[in-house]
Amino acid sequence: MNAMKHAALGILSTVLIAMACCALAQTPRFSVQGEHFLRDGKPFLIRSGEIHYPRVPREYWRDRLHKLRAMGLNTITTYVFWNLHEPEPGQFDFSGNLDIAAFVRTAQEEGLEVIVRPGPYICTELDFGGYPAWLLRTPGLRVRSMDPRYMAASARYLKRVGEELAPLLSTRGGPILMIQVENEYGSYGNDRDYMAAVKQQVIDAGFDTPLFTSDGPHLRLLEGGTLPGVTSVINFDGDANDAQSSFEEFARFRTGVPRMVGEYWDGWFDAWGKPHTSRDTDKVAGAIEWFLANGVSFNLYMAHGGTSFGYLAGANGKLDGSYSADTTSYDYDAPIDEAGRLTPKYHAIRAVIGKHLDAGETLPPMPADARTVSIPRFELAESVSLRDALPILSKPVLSVLPKTMEALGQNYGFVWYRTRLPSTGGKLQVQEVRDYASVLVDGVAQGTLDRRENRHTLSINAKAGATLDLLVENMGRINFDQPLATEYKGITRAVKLDDAELRNWTMYALPLADLSGLAFGNTDTATDEPGFWRGSFKLKKPGDSFLDLRGWGKGHVWVNGHHLGRYWKIGPQQALYLPAPWLRSGRNEVVVLDVEGGAAKRSIGGITDPVYQVADPPAGQ
30-354 to CATH, choices 3.40.220.10, 3.40.50.2300, 3.40.50.2000, 3.20.20.80: 3.20.20.80
365: exposed, middle or buried (Cβ count in 10 Å: 0-12, 13-18, 19+): exposed
pLDDT over 80 at 346, yes or no: yes
Cα 61 from chain centroid?
Answer: 16
Max CA separation in the chain (angstroms): 117
CA distances from residue 110 to 28, 45, 171, 591 in whole angstroms, order as listed? 22, 18, 20, 37
| Pairwise CA distance, residues 463 & 423, whole Å | 6
pLDDT, tens digit, 9 for 90 and up, residues 550-607: 999 999 999 999 999 999 999 999 999 999 999 999 999 999 999 999 888 899 999 9
Q: Helices in 136-191 by DSSP H: which ranges?
A: 148-165
User: Could you tell me which of 274, 315, 269 has the C-alpha nearest to residue 487?
Assistant: 315
Task: Answer yes or no: CATH 2.60.120.260 is held by domain 401-503.
Answer: yes
Q: 477 to each of 131, 132, 203, 321, 349, how far by Cα in Å?
A: 10, 11, 29, 13, 34
Distance set, CA 383 to CA 62, 349, 528 (Å) = 39, 48, 13
Query: Could you tell me where in the chain the CATH 3.20.20.80 domains are found?
Result: 30-354
For the whole model, what pTM was predicted? Answer: 0.94
**All CATH 2.60.120.260 domain ranges in the chain, comma separated:** 375-384+523-607, 401-503
Residue 422 has a pLDDT of 94
pLDDT tens-place string over residues 113-151: 999 999 999 999 999 999 999 999 999 999 999 999 999
Beta-strand ranges (E) seen in 406-443 are: 414-420, 427-434, 436-441
| 184 has catalytic annotation | yes
Of 113, 184, 473, 487, catalytic: 184
With a cut of 60, say whether residue 7 has pLDDT above it: no
Task: Pick the range with the lowest mean pLDDT from 21-35, 78-92, 377-391, 399-413.
Answer: 21-35
Which CATH entry fits the domain spanning 375-384+523-607: 3.40.47.10, 3.40.50.300, 3.30.200.20, 2.60.120.260?
2.60.120.260
Helical packing angle, 344-354 and 281-293, nearest 10°: 20
Report CA-CA distances (Å) from 574 to 441, 535, 551, 566, 571.
30, 19, 9, 10, 6
Given a contact cutoff of 8 angstroms between Cβ atoms, the answer to whether 443 and 525 are in contact is no
Q: Which of 125, 164, 182, 263 is catalytic?
A: 263
Instruction: Based on the residue annotation, tell me whether 110 is a catalytic residue of this protein.
Output: no
3-state percent breakdown (helix, strand, coil) of the chain, nearest 5: 25, 30, 40
Decide if 321 contacts 454 (C-beta within 8 A): yes
- 8 Å CB contact between 423 and 496: no
The pLDDT value recorded for residue 599 is 87
Q: How many CB atoms lie within 10 A of CB 171?
A: 16
Cα-to-chain-centroid distance, residue 484: 15
Cα torsion 276, 282, 283, 284 to 10°: value is 80
Give per-residue pLDDT as tens, 442-454.
999 999 999 999 9
